[in-house]
Amino acid sequence: MATMQQVADRAGVSIATVSFVVNGTKYVTPATTDRVKAAMRELKFRGNVVARALASRRTRIIALLFPTTGNRFSPTTSEFFMSAAQRASERGYHLVLWPVDPAGDDLDDLVSGGLVDGVILMEVRMDDPRVAVLTDLEVPFTLIGRTRDSAGLPFVDIDFETTIVDSVDHLTALGHRRFGLVLEDIEGTPMAGYAPHLRAESTFRELVAERGLAGTVVYAGAGSEGGRGAAEALLTADPELSAVLVMKDDSAGGLLVGLFDAGRRVPEDVSVLSIASSAANADQHYPRLSTMLAPGRELGTRAADALIEQLDGTSADLPHFLLPCTLRTAESTAAAPAR
């Protein structure tokens, strides 16, 4: 490996200038920077980030923890993932993908290694044991999602409450009065207590009661079969239902087929609105699904920013960002049928 002196000689600058370019500690003109970088490339010089990390006790690595159980990777999660990695990269950090078990048993070992400066936690449950572990380890962290009581915790999350209200508002404006909500059946799985489902469900139930609307909630099994079962369950409970909110991408296709099999056209007889989902999912289906788009990119960017600002000490406030989904109408929603 080349030394800094060799790089300086090759570029015709002082060793201090090379150091400024490598560490970004002082302004160097673009022309000189280019010359130094070219010399570094030619000599295969590797700015020793590791030595710098040791000196500063910081590694500029942040870990994104994801649960090892199940394949819970939706297009929204991917969007979130990629934008967090990209944002970290833009700000001079590196995002490590770290598998951990949902109980958080291995978290301690991972974080105690001193490799990471901070942690982003995703797929948060209402009472998540990993939050206590991270607090105990005194490592800076940010949640994507919220526990039941998250006032004292740094988080960014989808505003599920507002999203449900906006969804029902949109559909009542189209004349709908009788609603269904399809959620994933997670009782008895490692994801039981998954916060988004609980928030969506309780908001929906309160809202329909408050407004004197009809509202039926069903918990669907996996895939298209789950979706067809949900359609049947909804229409059995309320044959007059005219609008369905579905928060379960893998069953949306089956739901459409189930409604069609039961003699309901979408959207002429029943409107279907996909919740906290993506354009990529919406456009797979026919009719293309009207969707409350999850702010995946923005959540990822904000989560990275929130953590990095804690690490860099540029913000003393704990971030509390709640971003609602935004409506993208497509072909699956329309005015309620006349009775």
Contacting positions for its own copies (CB under 8 A): 37, 40-41, 44-51, 53-54, 59, 61, 64, 66, 68, 71, 73, 75, 77-79, 81-82, 85-86, 89, 94-99, 108-109, 112-115, 137-138, 222-225, 228, 249-254, 257, 280, 283-286, 288
CB of 26 to its own copies, least distance (A): 19
CB of 325 to its own copies, least distance (A): 17
Q: Report whether 304 contacts 87 (CB < 8 A).
A: yes
Among residues 116 and 208, whose Cβ is nearest to its own copies? Answer: 116
d(CA 304, CA 76): 16
Q: Report whether 289 contacts 282 (CB < 8 A).
A: yes
* 241 CB neighbour count, 10 Å cutoff: 21
CB of 294 to its own copies, least distance (A): 13
d(CA 265, CA 271): 9
Label the pairing between strands 290-293 and 141-144.
unpaired
CB of 221 to its own copies, least distance (A): 10
CB of 78 to its own copies, least distance (A): 3
CB of 147 to its own copies, least distance (A): 23
User: Residue 39, class by beta-carbon neighbours within 10 Å (0-12 exposed, 13-18 middle, 19+ buried)?
Assistant: buried
Among residues 179 and 184, whose Cβ is nearest to its own copies? Answer: 184
Among residues 118 and 215, whose Cβ is nearest to its own copies? Answer: 118
Length of the chain: 339
| Nearest-10 Cα torsion for 308, 313, 316, 318 | 20
* 104 CB neighbour count, 10 Å cutoff: 19
Among residues 53 and 311, whose Cβ is nearest to its own copies? Answer: 53
Among residues 168 and 325, whose Cβ is nearest to its own copies? Answer: 325
Among residues 3 and 89, whose Cβ is nearest to its own copies? Answer: 89
